[in-house]
Amino acid sequence: MDGTPNPRRLLLVGDTTLDPLAAALAQAPGGPTLDAAAAPYGQVYQILMDPSHPAWQPEPDYLAVWTSPQLTLPSLNAALRFQSADPEAVVAEAKEFAAAVAAAAQRVRLTIVPSWILPAHERWVQSMTWRHGGIANLLARANLALADAWAGQRNILMLDAAHWQSSLSKPSHDPRMYAVAKVMYTPAMFGKAAAEIKAALRGALGRSRKVVVCDLDNTLWGGILGEDGAAGIRLQAPDPVGECFVAAQEALKALRNRGLLLAICSKNDEDHAFSVIDGHPGMSLRRGDFAAWRINWEQKADNLRSLSAELNLGLDSFVFLDDSPEERDQVRALLPDVLVPDCPASPAAIAPLITALDCFETTTISAEDAQRTAAYQAERDRRAAASPGADVNSWLASLDLRVRASPLDPSSLPRAAQLLNKTNQFNLTLRRAEENAFAAWASRPGNSVYVFHIADRFGDFGLAALASLSAENGGVRITDFVMSCRVMGKCVEEAILAYIVERARELGPGPIVAPATEGPRNEPARRFFAGKYSGAGAALSLARISRPEFITVEATAPALVPAL
């Protein structure tokens, strides 16, 4: 429930030996740093059901439960051996397992469960496998029973081990190692599992990448625009090379649809490039799909820095796609925070590369995600609307800024948790919390969380800020003050602070404090609050807090959903 640094402890529980997974997790690249330990194998129910089992010491942060259906579900095992086929029994056993996992999940921050799979060599009777009672049919029912049982539980992430299995070029299971040491999976499968478990944890912790910056020539289309001309680039069926670039664009568009920002960084003539982007019939991505661009002859590393400033997002949230090894090397060398995947030489491999990237993991996709690119475009319009001579206050006044405040409720929880975990700059205390933990904290007596929807005449920022209060020592502490970087620079924080100070006043007349946590990037929030004290006082100075006149604040109670 706090921002405690690494490593985090992960308990691995399975019906086979999972020590190689612990080793693979230690070697897998990327955060978070994990201290993974495998419990003795074959005691799944004992460990899940018994909080006093020694496996729970020391207390883990996370739990992963990886079992095999043939060992965990006796009825499925019987069906596998043609002894019986009882779908109801399989589902009942799956539900029993789901309940045990759900109970254990309450002891940790997050639980990860790979779906049940069978070894690829198990072909059973293919002609009957999807029939009622067939093994594929039973396995699907069992997995669906788990997914349904945990549908309302955001603290359990069910991952798709069938995808892991099919992504490998080698077998996933090794009967030799099972015979020797009850190790069911191959090193390749453990490696994939480790990578995916870490990706899932990064997603839950809000550590995913947010921006994809693409080159144009031989990345979004085939050929070089400056040499081949708009008519000569390859970007359409029936040209197979053109088809591959269409597929690459579609893959990027899917990322945009789920909240990633796309940007362009290309050495080209900007007008010429936009003549293609706006007008070429083969383009899937259009100008409106890009949040920002640098189409010029500058160094790409400089352009990426400037895109980072424009989008107000750190380079550690950037991914850079470029077909040129030289450009990739330059960016890797100068901007080590940027993720630079090796771009394949074959056009056919670009779309698969994009769809296989595990750096965009998330546990929720919010309405704000779907509107994100439009929001950045609105921001460009806003800046353009500011006439060069006008002062900033009249520009702000012209925006017609509106803030709608409401208590946190179940409908706003996923986005609020996303905001809490992803925001680095305007974040007073940098507290991180998985959804469930945040909801539990919010519902404790003395604590309250408010969320803020922000809009202006150019568009809707959605739920873009949150603040929480805790009654403490006769006064009130501002425990969180988090605002999306997209609404920075508009004095919205002044209006929000004024609003929550009013709420704090309702709790009592004691001092209101807002101790900051110093992080590498949250200077904007700390600086803002530093200006709200007078002299050396430990409490906020109310005289320095007021709502700007040009911002409207409206409070809404949650309509039909109970507050948390």
Partner 1 sequence: MTDDLAHFLESLRPGLGDPKVGDFFAQGVLDSLGLITLVSSLEERYQIFIDVADIVPDNFRNLAAIRALLARCGATVPEGGPRTIPR
Q: Name the residue type at position 153.
A: Q
* SS3 assignment, position 158: strand
Query: What SS3 string covers 229-262?
Result: CCCCCECCCCCHHHHHHHHHHHHHHHHHHCCCEE
The Cα 41–Cα 19 span in angstroms is 9
* SS3 assignment, position 543: helix
Least Cβ distance, residue 40 to partner 1 (angstroms): 12
Interacting residue with partner 1 among 103, 125, 181, 385 (CB under 8 A): 181
The Cα 164–Cα 435 span in angstroms is 26
The Cα 261–Cα 290 span in angstroms is 7
Q: Which of residues 207-246 bind partner 1 (CB under 8 A)?
A: none
19 contributes a contact to partner 1 by CB under 8 A: yes
Q: What torsion do the CA atoms of 369, 371, 373, 374 make, to the nearest 10 degrees? A: -170
DSSP state for residue 120 in the 8-state scheme:
T
Q: Which of the ranges 17-25, 224-232, 301-309, 547-555 carries the binding residues for partner 1, by CB under 8 A?
A: 17-25
119 contributes a contact to partner 1 by CB under 8 A: no
374 contributes a contact to partner 1 by CB under 8 A: no
179 contributes a contact to partner 1 by CB under 8 A: yes
Considering beta carbons, is residue 185 or 426 the nearer one to partner 1?
185
x/- track of binding to partner 1 for residues 139-178 (CB under 8 A): ------------------------------------xxx-
Interacting residue with partner 1 among 180, 367, 530, 538 (CB under 8 A): 180
14 contributes a contact to partner 1 by CB under 8 A: no
Q: Which of the ranges 13-21, 122-130, 227-235, 450-458 carries the binding residues for partner 1, by CB under 8 A?
A: 13-21
Interacting residue with partner 1 among 20, 60, 259, 462 (CB under 8 A): 20
First to last CA, the chain: 17
Least Cβ distance, residue 28 to partner 1 (angstroms): 15
26 contributes a contact to partner 1 by CB under 8 A: no
Contact 467, 492 (CB under 8 A): no
Would strands 62-66 and 34-38 be described as parallel, antiparallel, or unpaired?
Answer: unpaired
Tokens coding 57 = 């010491």
Contact 82, 103 (CB under 8 A): no
Q: Which of the ranges 45-53, 105-113, 129-137, 179-187 carries the binding residues for partner 1, by CB under 8 A?
A: 179-187
Tokens coding 462 = 């959605």
Interacting residue with partner 1 among 186, 317, 366, 377 (CB under 8 A): 186
Q: Which of the ranges 96-104, 180-188, 204-212, 362-370 carries the binding residues for partner 1, by CB under 8 A?
A: 180-188
Q: Where along the sequence are the contacts to partner 1 (CB under 8 A)? A: 17, 19-20, 23, 175-177, 179-181, 183, 186-187
